[in-house]
Structure 1
Amino acid sequence: MGGESMTHTAPRGGGSGTGPVGSRTGQRLSGLAVALGLVLFLGGFAWGAVVYLPYTVPTSSMTPTIDAGDRILAQRVDGGDVRRGDVVVFRDTNWGDAPMVKRVVAVGGDTVSCCQDGKLKVNGKEIDEPYLPDGTPAEITGFPTVTVPKGRLFLLGDERGSSMDSTAHLSDAAGGTVARSTVEARVDAVVWPMDGMLKRPTGFEPLGSLSSPGPLRTIGLLVVVGAVLVLGGGAYGPVAKRTVGARRTDAEPARAG
């Protein structure tokens, strides 16, 4: 009525939920991604620390499966869960009372001997051992038939020519065997160099089921996914800020004049 006119100007960005670093929804999602990523990342490492033991192998007695200086991860297991073909870490006072890495070739109740047709023989069956070094005859560790007592294990190195294994202790009271209770862990993977998970020795399958791999792959996946979420969520703010800044720069010539 008085000639005055009033205009309403909408505030810039009012109600849009946007700011200098993107939408509020985006910020919340990035925060959730970082939080979830930290849980997965730290949880994966914690799980691995509980389940696995790290070792550095000092000798070449398990070549070519494990070389001297290799770093391995071994799953903590009860000795009663060990099966034929497993590569285990054990400690026996008669063998020097230091952690040793060997392959289980026979368990309590088995008969084992070497060699016939160049192959190890367990319970009358010839065992295919593709993990042995190329060109190395199995006969190099020839020994007479041994009956493994209940609750004990017979172990050999994959490098049969230099391994101080059960064959070097045949004259002991236990006939070269060790108690299942001496086993600390079962080797799951060589992590340095990154040779990956150990293959399951299918040559022992006719004698019974093989052990299953541990959760190392799952743990590794949790750690990787967690790291991606943390990095992705943390990068949201700077990326959104740069994107908003670029949009404003592009819009300035349109407002000019």
Structure 2
Amino acid sequence: MAAAGRENNGRGRLGSALSGVAVAVGFVLFLGGFIWGAVIYQPYTVPTDSMSPAVRAGDRVLAQRVDGDRVRRGDIVVFRDREWSDVLMVKRVVGVGGDTVACCGAGGRLTVNGEPVDEPYLSSGGPASAEKFTADVPDGQLFLLGDERTGSLDSRSRLQEAGEGSVARSSVVGRLDAVAWPLPGEVLERPGGFARLPGGVSEVGPIRLITSSVLLGAALIVGGAAYGPVVERLARRAGGQGRGGAADAG
């Protein structure tokens, strides 16, 4: 009976130790993920439906803090340009410095340097733009369009301005990686239509890794906190049954 008691006590101590380790590791992953995310990402609320259906008015999005020089075609960016507005705006990059962006080519598609681009993210099945246009993008500039092409005020509206409606790369403050709200959220994948053009498309940031760290950390905290008491209760129950069996035998 004494040996059984020592064994149960040993299991209880082991359970408590494992519980403590799980909770400690969980806190590191959970808090580390949140801190990492706060350093890498900035939350924004989308003000209009000009980027529908990829992101809609009122959506809470996560924008990776990136320098404008890292932006590529197909990226959805958050930017501020005083010539456009005093508020932050969200649009998709369809042309970079040196590009000629035009519409519409074969099948009503947007063309970049004469190459037609598939844009499955557009809100309608019609042409890529109701208005025909051609724009040469100056070096260091970006040509930006909304996905809701029928209602978006974007580079097309400013084609007569210097730079043919483009904005400086330095105006960019972030690149969208995910919709955080409404739940369950969504990672914004890069469009493949621009992949074959020089420079390709950008990679999605570490949002999946950060999310996994936070979720795993939360699971370890909850599981670790519950594991110790459960093991101790089972050990006490087993000890009580052992003592009861010994008394009956006597």
Match of 1:244 among 223, 230, 235: 235
> 1:221: which partner in 2?
212
Quote how far apart the aligned CAs of 1:245 are: 3.3
> 1:75: which partner in 2?
64
Q: Secondary structure at the match of 1:173?
A: coil
1:139-198 CA-partner distances (Å, limit 9, x unpaired): 31422x211000000000000011111011112222100000000010001121234111
Q: Secondary structure at the match of 2:61?
A: strand
Q: Structure 1 unaligned runs (5+)?
A: 1-8
* TM-score (norm: length of structure 1): 0.89
- Equivalenced residue count is 245
Quote how far apart the aligned CAs of 1:94 are: 0.5
- Residues 62-211 of structure 1: pairs in structure 2 closer than 5 A: 62-117=51-106, 118-143=108-133, 145-193=134-182, 194-208=184-198, 209-211=200-202
CA–CA separation in structure 1 for the residues paired with 2:35 and 2:101? 40
Relative to structure 1, the CA distance from residue 11 to residue 110 in structure 2 (aligned partners, 3 Å threshold; closer, same or farther) is closer
> 1:230: which partner in 2?
221
CA–CA separation in structure 2 for the residues paired with 1:67 and 1:11? 66
Q: Structure 2 unaligned runs (5+)?
A: none
Q: Secondary structure at the match of 2:226?
A: helix
**Are the equivalent residues in 2 in contact too, given 1:55–1:72 (CA < 8 A)?**
yes
1:30-84 CA-partner distances (Å, limit 9, x unpaired): 1111111101100000000000011111210001111111111111111000000
Matched, 1:28 2:20: no
**Are the equivalent residues in 1 in contact too, given 2:98–2:139 (CA < 8 A)?**
yes
Moved over 6 A (4+): none
**Are the equivalent residues in 2 in contact too, given 1:60–1:159 (CA < 8 A)?**
yes
Decide which moves more: 247-256 or 73-82.
Answer: 247-256
Matched, 1:212 2:203: yes
CA–CA separation in structure 2 for the residues paired with 1:122 and 1:250? 78
* TM-score (norm: length of structure 2): 0.92
Task: Note the aligned Cα RMSD (angstroms).
Answer: 1.9
